[in-house]
A and B are shown apart, each in its own frame.
Chain A
Amino acid sequence: MKRPQMTEPQITDRLIKEHGLKPDEYETILKILGRMPTFTELGIFSVMWSEHCSYKSSRIHLKNFPTEAPWVIQGPGENAGVIDIGDNQAAVFKMESHNHPSFIEPYQGAATGVGGILRDIFTMGARPIASLNSLRFGPLTDPYQKHLFSGVVSGIAGYGNCIGVPTVGGEIYVHPCYAGNILVNAFNLGIADIDRIFYGKATGIGNLIVYVGSKTGKDGIHGVTMASEEFTDDAQQKKPNVQVGDPFTEKLLLEACLEAMKENLIVGIQDMGGAGLTSSSSEMAARANMGIELELSRVPLREANMIPYEIMLSESQERMLIVAEEKNLEPLLSIFKKWDLEAAAIGHVSGDGYLRIKWFDETVAEIPASRISTEAPMYDRPQSRPDYQDELNILDESEIEVLTDNNDVLLKLLSSPNIASKELVWQEYDHMVRTSTVVLPGKGDAAVIRVHGSKKGIAMSVDCNSRYCYLDPYMGGIHTLTESARNVAATGAKPLAVTDCLNFGNPEKPEVMWQFAEALRGISDACRALEIPVISGNVSFYNETKGTAIYPTPTVGVVGIIEDVSQALTMGFKNIGDVVILLGPSTGSLGGSEYLSLLHGIERGLPHPVDLEMEMQLIELMVKLCKNGLIVSSHDLSEGGLAVALAESSITGNIGLNAELKTIAKGVRTDTLLYGESASRIVVSAKPDAVANIESMTKEASVPCHVIGKTVENKMFKITIDGNILMNLPLTTISSAYKESLQRGLNDRV
């Protein structure tokens, strides 16, 4: 191969600024190098010190997460976290954002988001078995939001369905704060043998660095820098940063990597995601306290005329970097050749701690690897509680009218895109491929997947109530974690660990930094109380457009284990004549509720405080009730409160309900009783002869327990207080509101 002509720009103040580097950061670069950086080095520093790669504003706060438990095999800091699930098996999981690319090109942005998280999982030696996602858009009445919505959903379906990993669950929220900055958070979980987990470490001086997968092109250069900036009006001009995914190549890459791992040909491995070759090489070197030397003329290229700067910064998809012993090179190359993939030795591990980049023997970059990864700049950015916060938290309930037409209120709530069934969406996803999905989308509070070769099941749920986080980031953080854990427990599984995807505005604004720190404090406190360590995660800042930030959205994904998957619980009522029981506190509050927002146009007040001790007792109780086979359905109370939870259980089970709320109605406004929201509440149904047992177990667990109704033969959904009817609707009516509203909303032309 001939060396192309290289024309590199001069390093000027303007060029430095264009690379998103602050003047003091550039000074630090000069100190580290003891000279001016080359153009390639400037590019490397720029991407590695971007917020996206360096976590420079968040690291100081992330350190406070509890990350340890006896079952944790690998906590944060690797490609994904790993927990022991027994029988010599491990669950490997992580969640990651792809917000900015999805806003620019929804289909490819979401598709490559799925592709990226899949690589994070199989690079650890695990076979991916389930994907979930958390999506947020602006109001779907806006044609542009409809376009984004359908693009994102198709992109997730396109990539996930082609590679053959089921998309089994997730959440979708719609709120004006996301109109200029949608959120696409992708979660994936894989299963590995405990003695066959691989890490992103470049150990062993002299070992070879092997490039595998697709060729490198000019796509996605500086994607991570884009993800570390706010959008302005010219977001459309940032076009070339988008990458196109190829799920069929990823499938080959997955099988080839797992085969090479099985043959023991790999010392260390990491996917080339954000910042491509640069981050994978420097992070693997830094984790092992080693150096890496690369010769870029050996990198397989899609286009001639690529210069080192472009090769190092390309974000072409479906590529991995492997560290291997020299004696294993030939078998390794032959495996990747067999799977029709590129593979080439492009360098070796060195002992001096430097990332040294050569191009046709000329050194074009020479940087201490740790300084661009583990020792990147770290900031303790100023925080301040927003001036508007106190005002925001004031809610005078006496000024809110108690709506009396509860039939109408219920139908409106069930039609809200935040509550309505997402069937329209998950029907596009192949959620059954691999034939392991036990609790299907829409059937339970969490997705449950069978672990082949055992009776075990894995329950997974992704959650965040960003309205709570806006009103009170600390309590919102607690709510987020507890709801996700409660969803897992509602299936009968014991929550074991959590991954996070923290979406916030511009961290250089003290108000945003305050929201971030408070939300993390809330999540941490809840994790400690529930003994659920954080084992992996991702931070996405700069979710702002034209200076307006999204609501703080610290999404979490809790994973749990159910010992006998055949006992997994779903939310639909099962039999006529069953008793319906409310576990947990009898009422919630209106602050931050969907009811207040949708019916009264008010988003203020405070979310209901969470009693973490009660939450833990409820979770333990659920696991016990499920194990003893005492309950036949369970559904946690979230947006829309008790009325919506009961309606969802009725609709999903297609069974009518007579609920009598006399025992819990005393001294409460009817709207608070029916639609108030709080944590630690689950509605279960059981055979009448099991009720005495359930009551004694709940008493033992100190969890309040109220019998509030029974399932009935007529297909009516009725709620009364002391015989007075609050609502009474045919199942077909509430079912149609719940199941068809999303479709109707998307079909409406403006």
Chain B
Amino acid sequence: MKAKVYIKHRQEILDPQGKAVLQGLNNLGFKGLTDVRVGKYIEITLDCASVESAHEQVKDMCERLLVNTVIENYTYVIEP
């Protein structure tokens, strides 16, 4: 099974990296950009008895290590 985890800064929290990228794109002449948010994408290959237990494990991984839930949000999908 493969878990695909998407992490980004919570909406109300400043994303300095996204801000720097936005500035860079503007400097290159791209027009009409209003916001850039830069996040992380993590792929985890795991051997699990069921999709349910994979969900449980991945959620636990996110809460305990992968995501700083104080400032970040996450979503994930499990692919068989």
Contacts and interface: CB of A to CB of B under 8 A. Distances in A.
Interface of A: 104-105, 108, 214, 217-219, 236, 239-240, 242-246, 248-249, 302-303, 316-317, 340
B23 A217 contact: no
Interface in B36-80: 68-71
Given A104-B70, A105-B68, A244 B23 contact: no
A239 B70 contact: yes
Interface residues of B, number: 15
Contacts of A240: 10, 12-13
Contact of B70 (A105, A217, A249): A105
B36 to A, nearest CB: 12
Residue among B15, B16, B68 facing the most chain A CB atoms (10 A cut-off): B16
Interface string B2-23: 0000000111111110011001
Contacts of B71: 105, 108, 242, 244
A666 to B, nearest CB: 59
B12 A217 contact: yes
A108 B72 CA distance: 12
Contacts of A217: 12-14
A316 B14 contact: yes
B29 to A, nearest CB: 16
Contacts, number: 45
Given A236-B70, A240-B12, A249-B16, 15 more contacts: A104-B70, A105-B71, A108-B70, A214-B14, A217-B12, A217-B13, A218-B12, A219-B13, A219-B14, A240-B13, A244-B15, A246-B16, A248-B20, A303-B11, A340-B23
Contacts of B15: 244
A245 to B, nearest CB: 8
Contacts of A239: 69-70
Contact of B13 (A214, A244, A248): A244
A302 B35 CA distance: 9
Nearest to A244: B14
Nearest to A316: B14
The 8 tightest CB contacts between A and B, nearest first, are A218-B12, A246-B16, A105-B70, A244-B14, A239-B70, A219-B13, A244-B13, A242-B70
Given A246-B19, A340-B23, A317 B70 contact: no
Contact of A248 (B10, B14, B16): B16
13 contacts: A104-B70, A108-B70, A108-B71, A214-B14, A217-B12, A240-B12, A240-B13, A242-B71, A244-B14, A244-B16, A245-B16, A249-B19, A340-B23
B20 A242 contact: no
Interface of B: 9-16, 19-20, 23, 68-71
Contacts of A105: 68, 70-71
A302 B14 contact: yes
A302 B11 CA distance: 10
B12 to A, nearest CB: 4
B12 A219 contact: yes
Contact of B9 (A214, A218, A244, A249): A244
A330 to B, nearest CB: 23
B23 A243 contact: no
Nearest to A101: B70
Contacts of A218: 12
Nearest to B68: A105
A300 to B, nearest CB: 13
Nearest to B69: A239
Contact of B14 (A104, A243, A340): A243
A240 B69 CA distance: 10
A293 B20 CA distance: 33
Nearest to A304: B34
Nearest to A109: B70
A13 B18 CA distance: 41
A10 B13 CA distance: 27
A108 B71 CA distance: 9
A108 B12 CA distance: 15
A316 B14 CA distance: 8
Contacts of B13: 217, 219, 240, 242-244
A104 B68 CA distance: 11
Contacts of A316: 14
Contact of B12 (A214, A245, A246, A303): A303
